[in-house]
Amino acid sequence: MLSKKTQYALKALGYLASKYNDGPVLIAEIASAKEIPIKFLESILLHLKKATILNSKKGKGGGYYLAQPPKKTTVAKAIRNVDGPIALLSCVSLNFYEKCKDCNEFTCGLNKIMAQTRDATLKILEKKTLFDLIDG
Amino acid sequence: MLSKKTQYALKALGYLASKYNDGPVLIAEIASAKEIPIKFLESILLHLKKATILNSKKGKGGGYYLAQPPKKTTVAKAIRNVDGPIALLSCVSLNFYEKCKDCNEFTCGLNKIMAQTRDATLKILEKKTLFDLIDG
DNA sequence: TACTACTCTACTAAATTAATAGACTAATAA
DNA sequence: TTATTAGTCTATTAATTTAGTAGAGTAGTA
């Protein structure tokens, strides 16, 4: 399951995608539109900015906005940045790989199943973008 | 990511699948073969028994064994029994559904994406069985 | 009837997740 | 140039989940 934090992140990104072209959006506006605790959202947005998914503008008229057009950022990238691995096991993760301490990946039945699952999941999440997160 | 508990469960089930026809297997044997803390494994196996995935026999010559032939139990069923939902969000879970408090499922972009992901994942995990967990 | 092995309850420790508080810094517009 | 607005950052806390441990009890089998 995705963490609450990731759900908040995706909701916020969907909202910002829908407001793309409207200039910076206040944290407070996103928080109230999507019912996210404002301070928690603040840290999430900051994190996404460091990941170059978002940009921000300070001062009056400032706020957060997508660093690129909505269709340029995949949902997979967003999830990985907040939650980490998408795969169900570290030993089949492409971006957060870690070897199992005691099992041989060439003979491990579980490894094979989870690798297939990962592929099926990524086939979708690597194609979906922030544009697809816009409600409608 | 699957919890450690679920990983242990799947490893143990794979081991029992490989020993199907050999009669009951001792908890201690499974634990040492798969490097699982024995007391922790004990509680996992008991849980799987209550879920009718395993049976056990007490006394000398006793132990745990699969309640059905390996190909009769799906990996999806095993995961659900230990970890709970396979879907990435409760609002798209088939077996552990819970409504999001504030979003409309018909218009929610995230919901649609996650439902697709769930379908892709289940297409695999509902077909794979404990037989596929056997190392080789 | 003694031994073996599963059963069950309760507890604890560690890690992760979720959320909050508050001081600080930078940009903007008047 | 200064008041205001809004993002930045650090630290802390609370809640929940996960992982693992201990030990007494019960039941089946040879």
- B78 to chain A, any CB pair closer than 8 A? The answer is no
- Residue range B77-86: mean pLDDT, rounded: 95
- Phi/psi at A129 (nearest 5 deg)? -125, 180
d(CA B82, nearest CA chain A) in Å? 14
**Quick one: pLDDT at residue A29?**
94
List the alpha helices (DSSP H) in chain A.
4-18, 27-34, 38-50, 75-82, 109-125
Whole-model pTM: value is 0.94
- Chain B residues close to A3, C-beta within 8 Å: none
The tokens describing A33, both together, are 């539109």
What one-character DSSP code corresponds to residue B76? H
Q: Is the dihedral of CA A106, A108, A109, A112 positive or negative?
A: negative
Residues of chain B with pLDDT > 90, as a percent, come to 88
**Quick one: pLDDT at residue B18?**
95
Classify A56 as helix, strand or coil: strand
- φ/ψ region of A69 (left if φ > 0, alpha if ψ in -120 to 50, else beta) reads beta
**Quick one: pLDDT at residue A104?**
87
In whole angstroms, D19 C1' to B116 CA is 32
Tell me the pLDDT tens digit for each residue of A23-41: 899 999 999 999 999 999 9
